[in-house]
Amino acid sequence: MLLWGDEVEYMIVKFDSSARRPLLSLRADQIIARLEEEEEKLGDSSISAWRPEYGNWMVEAVPRLPYGGFVRDLRDIETNIWTRQQRIQSCLSEDESVMSIVAFPTMGVGTFTHPAHAPGGDASQSNFVPDEAINPFPRFKTLTRNIRVRRGSKVDIRVPLFRDTMTPEFSHLSSAAAAAAPAADPINGTTEEGDKATDVFRMDLPGESSDAAETKAATARSEAPVEANSGQSATAEVVKPHIQMDCMAFGMGCCCLQVTFQARDVDESRQLYDHLAVLAPMFLALTAACPALHGRLADTDVRWHTIASSVDDRTPAERGVEAAAAAAASTGRGGTVEGPGASPIHKSRYDSIDLYISNKGHFRSAYNDVDVEIDEPSMEQLRAAGVDDVLAAHVAHLFIRDPLVIYRERIEIDDSKMTDHFENIQSTNWQTVRWKPPPADSPIGWRVEFRSMEAQLTAFENAAYTVFIGLVSRVILFFNLNLYTPMSMVHENMERAHQRNAASGQRFYFRRNVVPLKEECAPLSPVREAAEQDNVQPTVDDEIAELTISEILMGHNTPSQPGASSSFFPGLVPLIQAYLDIIACDDETRAMVDDYCEFICKRASGELITTATWMRQYIMSHPDYNFDSVVSEKIAFDLLQQCDAITRGTLNVPSLHGRFINRGARGEMAAADTAASAGGSTDPSSIPVPPTADAVASLLPPRRMLRGASFRQEVKTIAQCSLVRALITKYSSKAQQHLVKTSSDFAETQPYLSTMKANS
């Protein structure tokens, strides 16, 4: 049975009301210690677990036990998330608030921590962020130091700066001479000495930077292997002012929302990994919530590239900024365990995945169309042990990285009994999805973690995205969808996801047809059948279109190309609706899922704006804003007060949430609210804990399971197949209406199966 769970990361913000200055409260270690003590006391009624994160202002909250695979379990998720958030709040003082914002807007600007510390320190050597802000758990400072040392310099994070009418950096661009000159930093009042490229947004390697999509698009489909310093030198430099940041905290201090699924077996885990990887860019764009960094407005809406650069430990030769031979000659810094770190590596340890890992089902090797670096000794070892090439390449690609942190006493261990050495490399390859083999000493199965989403302000939103991606994973398995898109296009989709308003404004490469139930049913398209009989593989253009997220969710009908498969795609939401009918989901759960789906569709259609858009609009319409892309402390203070009120449910912003009211505002947890806002002294047992699924089971209709592939095998007679077709068609037409008239909602839809029963 399915086991799964979310991870939501939170920040502890302290409001200094006399100075109207927001601060990061550096006491997550104490708060986590206290929460863990409370958990002990709660015993069996505990529903939460707590994990330290990079910043000592961050708390990661997870359900104590993974969610189960019953439909009914979907209803517990929002309560679980809400309760965890309330639990953290109950440990805070009156001027502190817990919030799941992605980036603290004035991070690295003046005094931004409580207690205050001077910037810098041995680990990060930052000009902006004190090492005291890093979680005191030794792993985090060691990571910071070792990344810097291996790289040979501080990390260099550059995010395109948003251009407003008075943004000073852009006035420099009127003359070429000015563009080359060091720019004044209006926040810190300094000039970036010693960095000639300050005003030049320069790519270290073709295709790796956080630059606009056009630049990336030009390289994404290129077959040319990426070489250090290849061709794209000065001429490819894009003059573009940027926000500059210099340490890991700017990236790893961002908050995200992750969801982990246990698969039935290794094959299913590989199938899920590949398909979720395709969706990662779209869900990054949909959840965009990161418009401001280091006191400036960014020209992008999401955190991803910031984190990627913040942990980029590649040596200059690996990044391609220094000839490999020179790097090989100098053994002073960097280098892999096996060598000097002199071969080019395309990407940071934190980035989108490079390889699909399934070798079954719809996978074709042509979809793995980007060059990847392979650690040959690992590849040999894996092959010798009988691991197939597709999976071996994935693991050998992880092993191009050096270990970053290792405990002395864990160096010499028995690798046949302990997986520490694998986990060490695995846990510092931070990618859009993570394939998690079972630990050596544990009964846990094969898992896949979906990692691209940005944290949302409210429990409602975090639950909506968790439930939605959970149902998408069921639909992928139940309908045996084929979402494979060439990896180079998935990379391009990641770039597009960064652009402002990508959720409703960008198109993404996506399959024209996802062939639901192809094996069980007659082929959907005679053209496709003919093509398959002739053993003609469809070309990329036949298979792939550029779709908006709204079309991906709600379906589309694109003109078919000659020889192409049918171009009708029902959309993920109608597939979810059909799936819920087939598993006979109960009405109450259905109503809740309908709300989540409708809410997410409205974010995609633009009827509701993303958190990033709302924050940007708030900042730009603030009376203190000077049209210079500066987010001052006072603006940030007011913005974060709004975020706090939204999080607690005392403020509803219709443009952001429409009719979808956050849990706190529904009054269901009023007692907990009152107790928590009193601060400090709340008894955790006074925060209502929802009854367990078992306790209420007897009150509910027969428990339905969120089945995937196992159920599909049972629904394969022609009659059932046509039923599935009918359902998909039904909900697709509903979805099309929804597109036209977004005020209508799925709640009006009658369950199809019960109607059929009534009619027969």
Closest residue to Mg ion: CB criterion: 258
Pairing of strands 507-511, 184-185: unpaired
Q: Write down the least CB distance from residue 9 to ligand ADP, Å.
A: 10
Q: Write down the least CB distance from residue 258 to ligand ADP, Å.
A: 6
Q: Write down the least CB distance from residue 28 to Mg ion, Å.
A: 14
Secondary structure in 3-state letters for 484-520: CCCHHHHHHHHHHHHECCHHHHCEEEEECCCCCCCCC
Distance CA 330, CA 394 (A): 30
Tell me which H or E stretch contains 589: helix 587-605
Q: Write down the least CB distance from residue 81 to Mg ion, Å.
A: 14
Closest residue to ligand ADP: CB criterion: 5
Among 318, 373, 402, 449, binds ligand ADP (CB under 6 A): 449
Q: Is 76 in the site for ligand ADP (CB under 6 A)?
A: no
Residue that the structure tokens 């809406």 belong to: 301
Q: What DSSP letter does each residue of 408-456 carry, written as one string?
A: GGGSS--TTT--HHHHHHHTT-EESEEEEPPPTT-----EEEE--PBP-
Residue 686 CB neighbour total at 10 angstroms: 12
Distance CA 59, CA 96 (A): 14
Q: Write down the least CB distance from residue 639 to ligand ADP, Å.
A: 29
Q: Is 262 in the site for ligand ADP (CB under 6 A)?
A: yes
Instruction: CB nearer to ligand ADP: give 142 or 642.
Output: 142
Instruction: Give the tokens for residue 593.
Output: 């899922």
Q: Which of 164, 247, 153, 237 is nearest to 203 (CA)?
A: 237
* Part of the chain binding ligand ADP (CB under 6 A), chosen from 29-37, 80-88, 286-294, 443-451: 443-451
Q: Write down the least CB distance from residue 134 to ligand ADP, Å.
A: 18
Q: Is 7 in the site for ligand ADP (CB under 6 A)?
A: yes
Q: In Å, how far are 366, 375, 539, 548 from 359, measured between CA atoms?
A: 12, 20, 20, 29
Among 447, 556, 663, 738, binds ligand ADP (CB under 6 A): 447
Site string for Mg ion, 448-487 (x = CB under 5 A): ----------------------------------------
DSSP lists the bridge partners of residue 256 as 454
Instruction: CB nearer to ligand ADP: give 277 or 723.
Output: 277
CA angle 637, 459, 96 (to 5 degrees): 35
115 preceded by cis ω (within 30°)? yes
Find which of ligand ADP, Mg ion, none residue 306 binds, CB within 5 to 8 Å per kind. Answer: none
Q: 459-478 vs 266-286: helix axis angle to the nearest 10?
A: 140
Among 149, 366, 444, 696, binds ligand ADP (CB under 6 A): 444
Among 26, 62, 279, 600, binds ligand ADP (CB under 6 A): 62
326, 228 contact by CB (below 8 A): no
Q: Is 3 in the site for ligand ADP (CB under 6 A)?
A: yes
Q: Write down the least CB distance from residue 407 to ligand ADP, Å.
A: 18
Q: Is 66 in the site for ligand ADP (CB under 6 A)?
A: yes
Residue that the structure tokens 């806002």 belong to: 677
Q: Is 199 in the site for Mg ion (CB under 5 A)?
A: no
Q: Is 1 in the site for ligand ADP (CB under 6 A)?
A: no
Q: Which of 434, 382, 107, 132 is nearest to 246 (CA)?
A: 107
Q: 633-648 vs 611-620: helix axis angle to the nearest 10?
A: 140
Find which of Mg ion, ligand ADP, none residue 666 binds, CB within 5 to 8 Å per kind. Answer: none
Q: Which residues contact 446 (CB under 8 A, 6 or more apart)?
A: 262, 263, 265, 266, 268, 269, 435, 436, 437, 438
Among 6, 268, 301, 492, binds ligand ADP (CB under 6 A): 6
* Helices and strands, counts by H and E, the chain: 30, 21
Instruction: CB nearer to Mg ion: give 287 or 577.
Output: 287
Site string for Mg ion, 36-75 (x = CB under 5 A): ---------------x------------------------
Q: Is 551 in the site for Mg ion (CB under 5 A)?
A: no
209, 84 contact by CB (below 8 A): no
Instruction: CB nearer to Mg ion: give 258 or 428.
Output: 258
Q: Write down the least CB distance from residue 60 to Mg ion, Å.
A: 5
Find which of Mg ion, ligand ADP, none residue 63 binds, CB within 5 to 8 Å per kind. Answer: ligand ADP
Q: Write down the least CB distance from residue 49 to ligand ADP, Å.
A: 7
- The residue count for binding ligand ADP (CB under 6 A) is 16
Write phi, then psi, for 690 (nearest 5 degrees).
Answer: -65, 150
Q: Is 135 in the site for Mg ion (CB under 5 A)?
A: no
Instruction: CB nearer to ligand ADP: give 261 or 614.
Output: 261
Specify whether the backbone of 606 is left (phi greater than 0), alpha (psi in -120 to 50) or beta: left
24, 15 contact by CB (below 8 A): no
Find which of ligand ADP, Mg ion, none residue 447 binds, CB within 5 to 8 Å per kind. Answer: ligand ADP
Q: Which of 95, 533, 499 is nearest to 300 (CA)?
A: 499
- 333-372 residues in contact with ligand ADP (CB under 6 A) are none
Instruction: CB nearer to ligand ADP: give 5 or 55.
Output: 5
154, 147 contact by CB (below 8 A): no
Q: Could you tell me where the beta strands, DSSP code E, fall in 602-754?
A: none
Distance CA 668, CA 663 (A): 7
Q: Is 96 in the site for ligand ADP (CB under 6 A)?
A: no
Distance CA 499, CA 291 (A): 10
Site string for Mg ion, 247-266 (x = CB under 5 A): -----------x--------
DSSP lists the bridge partners of residue 448 as 261, 435
Among 2, 5, 6, 7, binds Mg ion (CB under 5 A): 7
Instruction: CB nearer to ligand ADP: give 75 or 496.
Output: 75
Burial class (CB in 10 A: 0-12, 13-18, 19+), 429: middle
Find which of ligand ADP, Mg ion, none residue 444 binds, CB within 5 to 8 Å per kind. Answer: ligand ADP
Specify whether the backbone of 43 is left (phi greater than 0), alpha (psi in -120 to 50) or beta: left
Instruction: CB nearer to Mg ion: give 89 or 258.
Output: 258
Q: Write down the least CB distance from residue 349 to Mg ion, Å.
A: 15
Instruction: Give the tokens for residue 688.
Output: 């209502």
480, 268 contact by CB (below 8 A): no
Among 9, 42, 44, 51, binds ligand ADP (CB under 6 A): 51
Q: Is 10 in the site for ligand ADP (CB under 6 A)?
A: no
Instruction: CB nearer to Mg ion: give 7 or 595.
Output: 7
Q: Write down the least CB distance from residue 443 to ligand ADP, Å.
A: 8
Instruction: CB nearer to Mg ion: give 167 or 258.
Output: 258
Q: Write down the least CB distance from residue 139 to ligand ADP, Å.
A: 13
Q: Write down the least CB distance from residue 7 to ligand ADP, Å.
A: 5
Q: Write down the least CB distance from residue 706 to Mg ion, Å.
A: 21
Q: Is 63 in the site for ligand ADP (CB under 6 A)?
A: yes
The site for ligand ADP (CB under 6 A) is made up of 3-7, 51, 62-63, 66, 258, 260-262, 444, 447, 449
Question: Under the rule (CB under 5 A), what is the footprint of Mg ion?
Answer: 7, 51, 258
